[in-house]
Amino acid sequence: MLRSDTEDYVAVVDLSREAIWLLKAEEFRTRAQPLAGGRFHLDWLVLSLGPRQRSQVPSEDEFQQYRLENQLRSGL
């Protein structure tokens, strides 16, 4: 994500799975890593590492509330 103060939401799209996540821009910045030039980068693990392995990168399960279909059901 580039630095900007005008957007309200950030859409994250996985075209191969036809999946969309919609995060408020503030929430995206909180979860993402800041990069040079005021940009942001968000990582998450699509597949679980299993119960014995830990990662500082969140799993996709933590982002289910941001799936577009869930956002639409809750009224954004």
User: 48-58: per-residue pLDDT in tens?
Assistant: 556 666 656 67
Cβ atoms of 21 and 11 within 8 Å: the answer is yes
Contacts of 23 (CB under 8 A, 6+ apart): 9, 10, 12, 31, 66
pLDDT of residue 68: 92
Q: Is the pLDDT of residue 41 over 70?
A: yes
Q: pTM to 2 decimals?
A: 0.68
pLDDT of residue 3: 59
- Tell me which residue has tokens 């998450």: 44
Q: Mark out the alpha helices in the chain (DSSP H runs).
A: 25-31, 68-74
pLDDT > 70: percent of the chain: 75
